[in-house]
Structure 1
Amino acid sequence: MTFTRTTEQSSNYEQLEKMSVHDLLTNINNEDKTVPLAVEKALPQIENLVSKVVEQMKKGGRLFYIGAGTSGRLGIVDASECPPTFGVPFDLVIGIIAGGDTAIRKAVEFAEDDKEQAWKDLSEWNINENDVVIGIAASGTTPYVIGGLEKCNENSIITGCITCNEGSPLSKTAQFPIEVVVGPEFVTGSSRMKAGTAQKLVLNMISTATMIQLGRVKGNKMVDMQLSNVKLIDRGVRMIMGEIPVSYDEAKALLEKHGSVRKAVENFNK
């Protein structure tokens, strides 16, 4: 199969600077509507990877995301939201970006071109055979990400990837590739747009489905969420009221005593 970077192909739209704001927004929205359909086609690939992540986590493994630029930032966002949402340790899902934490806010020149650095970054976390590493790269050609997965493969560590080109070098490197082919961007080559949206949707699926499989959701509620602000405390109180016959004040007292919705409900009347 010949590898074609559809993410780099010319936009389907011309003379963007001559469009009205209305037309710009309408056309961007029309392009965005195609992304969930592209994700749908990749559901079997996503299922295979999530099943493996769950299997490894049940063995005590962790999930790592590695990426550069927008892809790296999206991995960090997903990883950082797992502790407050699901009450898991901060080091269960870990996002790593080429160029280090500085690159979260500001581009670090040529960081993505270092094929050796990702393994060095992963090694700082004492990565092992129970872990899973998912490389994120819209193009599927980022040296930092490919190099990291190659070293993981050599060290018997499960590898997956999320990319937006079919048949890319990254897909061929990952044991569990996910390819969401979204086509040319509205602004040619601006893969923070449809490709970035696709990656975010897939990351949502991976982390959420994994945490549900690990028992971190009850019914449809985030019973292990961190109670880090007034809104979340109120939500937790109302969750408790929905599970056991108590008043608002009684539910709040239980929540304050036990520290989580799950523990409050489990310890009711004990």
Structure 2
Amino acid sequence: MTAVTLNEVLEPAMTEGYALAGLVVLGWEDAVAFVEAAENTGCPVILQAGPGCRAHTPIPVIGKMLRYLADQASVPVVCHLDHGYTLEDCVAGIDHGFSSVMFDGSRLPISENIELTARLAEKAHRADVSVEGEVGFVGYADGASSAFTDPAEASRFDRESGADAIAVSVGNVHLQTEKTDGIDFDALKAIEAVTSKPLVLHGGSGIPPEVRQRLAKESRVCKFNLGTELRQTFGSALRETLDENPRLFDRIEILKSVIPPMRASTEKIFQTITKI
């Protein structure tokens, strides 16, 4: 089937009380594993190309790769450009096959964030592409600290930006290598009270599976971005392959070995948060 928009998969999730996984793609092998896991479980999947991926593989290349996988898949696949820091990056994503783009204006004053997101949304929606925005700043485990989302700013963004989904900061943190129970449910409820759009939590790897499950069932959080824990699976599988086969040198054979463990880890994620 062809790629679907973020809106097409998040609206049912929000209505029916489950969530989807936005999975960070860094190459062919992990993308294949993610789609195979989605097909094995019957779950929609969101394949995400973030700044790191795009620095390694240009937008025209990664866009076509994700779109190819979506076209071959038997389940809905969203091809999502994650953390576009400029409108130019997001427009390039629209032009090269992405069915969803995220403009990250979280570091900007709220009025400028809304204005730029609205400009993008107007162009994206004409091309049948969804838009995710961000209010508040989600920090990094070994970097910049988070700034929690202001409910009043989230309310304005919800009404004025044209975004189809809103990423928020309520204790979630990027690049967490260990699970932490840092989600502030009261802060999340305050945001939910003044917004209507599907909500997104970046830094999903740091959120314990049971907390993700609770959020999926009891809140309007419909999308968890997950990268670090799957990169850990990739690294462990790669080291194991090389340790067990020290004379192995063929790139394709080495990298193919990570697909089964990546697929298994992804299926466990789907089983926790997605309606199967």
Whether the TM-score (by the shorter chain) exceeds 0.5 is no
More strand by percentage: 2
Q: TM-score, normalised by structure 2?
A: 0.34
Q: TM-score, normalised by structure 1?
A: 0.35
